C-alpha cells in the first residue's frame, strides 16, 4: 500500500542535543509538509516543500531545519532542542492543487530530557 | 488572519445517536474543506472532503458546506464508541496549505 512512513515513532533526546526525524513516502506526491502538534492543539505548519522548493513559515524558529534529498524522503532537523520542542511531529504529503487533501504519516513523538 | 473555529467539546452522545460537529472559517476564498479524525496519540486520518455547497455522504458520515455562511459541518449517524476521537476541520484558503481548527473531542458512550 502506498503510504507515508515516519521514523522513529518515538524519539527521546537530551536538551540541546541535535535530533533528526525522517519521513518517506511511496505516494509520489510533489508536496511534503512538516507539522508540530502539541497536546489539544491544532497541527502547526513548520515548513513545506513543493518538489525541491523549500517554503518556511514566518514563525518557524531557526532551530528547525529541513532537507528533502529526493521526492521520497524528507528530514526534520532540530539543531538544539529545548523543552518546549517536545511534541508530536507530523509529516504529510499531497499532490499540487487547492483541492487536494493531505495524507499524514503516523507521526514521531519527541521527548526532551 | 485566516482562522478556522471549532468548539473544543467534549461533545458527548449516546451510542446510536447522531453526532453533529461544526466548523466556521474566516477566509471567503476557501475552496476545499476536509474533516480529519485523530485518535489520542495518533496522527490525523482523512475521513471526508467537500468542495461544493450542499451535502456529501460517505457511509455513516455526511459533510455539509455552506460557503455563504462560511460554515462546514460533519454528521456521524449511528455513532459508535469507536468514533470517540478528536475531529479536526481543515480549510484550504491557499494553493498548498491547510488551516486546521483545534478540533472537537467527541465521546460516544454505550
How does pLDDT run along chain A (113 residues), one tens digit per residue?
669 999 999 999 999 999 999 999 999 999 999 999 999 899 999 999 999 999 999 999 999 999 999 999 999 999 999 999 999 999 999 988 767 899 999 999 999 99
Query: What whole-number distance in Å separates Cα of residue B99 and Cα of residue B93?
Result: 8
Residues of B engaging A, defined by a Cβ cutoff of 8 Å: 4, 8, 31-32, 34, 36, 41-46, 49, 51, 88, 90, 92, 94-98, 100-103
Question: In which residue are the cell numbers 475531529 written?
Answer: B87
- The confidence score (pLDDT) of residue A97 equals 75
Cβ <8 Å between A98 and B94: yes
Chain B residue with minimum CA distance to A10: B41
- The confidence score (pLDDT) of residue A96 equals 80
Cβ <8 Å between A43 and B100: yes
Chain A residue with minimum CA distance to B86: A40
Interface of A with B in 33-62 (CB under 8 A): 40-43, 45, 48, 50
Average pLDDT over residues B8-23: 96
Query: Least CB-CB distance to A42: which of B45, B46, B102?
Result: B102
Cβ <8 Å between A90 and B32: no
- The confidence score (pLDDT) of residue B95 equals 67
- The confidence score (pLDDT) of residue A21 equals 97
- The confidence score (pLDDT) of residue A1 equals 63
Beta strands in A1-113 (DSSP E): 4-7, 10-13, 19-25, 31-37, 44-50, 53-56, 64-67, 73-78, 87-94, 103-104, 108-112
Among candidate residues A103, A92, A107, A101, the one with its CA nearest the CA of residue A34: A92
- Looking from the CA of A104 toward its CB, the CA atoms found within 13 Å total 22
- The confidence score (pLDDT) of residue A2 equals 62
Average pLDDT over residues B17-45: 94
Residue A75 C-alpha from the chain's centroid: 7
pLDDT in tens, B33-87: 999 999 999 999 999 999 999 999 999 999 999 999 999 999 999 999 999 999 9
Query: What whole-number distance in Å separates Cα of residue B33 and Cα of residue B25?
Result: 10
Amino acid at each position: 500500500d502506498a503510504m507515508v512512513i515516519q521514523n522513529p515513532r518515538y524519539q527521546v533526546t537530551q536538551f540541546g542535543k541535535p535530533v533528526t526525524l525522517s519521513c518517506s513516502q511511496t505516494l509520489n506526491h510533489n508536496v511534503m509538509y512538516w507539522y508540530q502538534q502539541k497536546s489539544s492543539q491544532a497541527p502547526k505548519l513548520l515548513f513545506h516543500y513543493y518538489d525541491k522548493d523549500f517554503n518556511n513559515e514566518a514563525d518557524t524558529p531557526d532551530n528547525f531545519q529541513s532537507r528533502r534529498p529526493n521526492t521520497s524522503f524528507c528530514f526534520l532537523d532540530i539543531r538544539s532542542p529545548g523543552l518546549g520542542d517536545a511534541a508530536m511531529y507530523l509529516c504529510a504529503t499531497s499532490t499540487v492543487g487547492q483541492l487536494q487533501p493531505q495524507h499524514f504519516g503516523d507521526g514521531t513523538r519527541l521527548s526532551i530530557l | 488572519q485566516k482562522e478556522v473555529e471549532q468548539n473544543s467539546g467534549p461533545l458527548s452522545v449516546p451510542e446510536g445517536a447522531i453526532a453533529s460537529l461544526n466548523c466556521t472559517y474566516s477566509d471567503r476564498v476557501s475552496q476545499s474543506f476536509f474533516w480529519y479524525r485523530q485518535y489520542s496519540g495518533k496522527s490525523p486520518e482523512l475521513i471526508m472532503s467537500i468542495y461544493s455547497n450542499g451535502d456529501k455522504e460517505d457511509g455513516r458520515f455526511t459533510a455539509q458546506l455552506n460557503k455563504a455562511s462560511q460554515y462546514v459541518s460533519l454528521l456521524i449517524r449511528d455513532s459508535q464508541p469507536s468514533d470517540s476521537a478528536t475531529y479536526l476541520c481543515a480549510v484550504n484558503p491557499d494553493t498548498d496549505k491547510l488551516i486546521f481548527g483545534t478540533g472537537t473531542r467527541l465521546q460516544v458512550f454505550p
